[in-house]
Amino acid sequence: MDKRVLLVEDEPNIIEAIRFILSRDGWTVLTHSDGTTAVEAVARAAPDVLVLDVMLPGRSGFDILRSLRADGTSAGLPILVLTAKGQDRDRAMAEEAGATRFMTKPFANAEILQSLSDLYAGARG
């Protein structure tokens, strides 16, 4: 079974690290780095799981998340919000906006792999 993840992240080192970890585990990793066109990228990619950075050029991850949840088409899409800002306020904002899970940078490789596996399994029922 093809597990597809869309990574919306603008930091090249993080993109490569996540791509490496997930590809090795059998995921197809698609990437997008512009906040302005992220909603369209999600629609085009139709991923099984979305990993969304908060601080992106053009538009914040929180705004993107609200748009995705408001349009209804991605209501069931598991979304992992990734941020360098791990304050409780950021976690609360992510949850209010509709994040399925929240993770702070830096993260452990095993942690992101386990989170995405859990999200994928949960979405599959």
Q: Where are the domains of the chain?
A: 3-120
Domain spanning 3-120: CATH 3.40.190.150: no
DSSP letter for each residue of 6-48: EEE---HHHHHHHHHHHHHTTEEEEEE--GGGHHHHHHHH--S
Element spanning 71, H or E: none
* pLDDT given for residue 32 in this prediction: 98
Give the rounded percent of residues in the chain with a pLDDT score beyond 90.
85
Which pLDDT score, from 0 to 100, does residue 1 have? 64
pTM for this model (two decimals)? 0.95
Which has more confidence, 106 or 6?
6
Query: According to the model, what pLDDT value does residue 38 have?
Result: 97
pLDDT at position 70, please? Answer: 94
Query: Which pLDDT score, from 0 to 100, does residue 73 have?
Result: 78
pLDDT digits (tens, 9 = 90+) for 68-118: 999 887 889 999 999 988 789 999 999 999 999 999 999 999 999 999 999
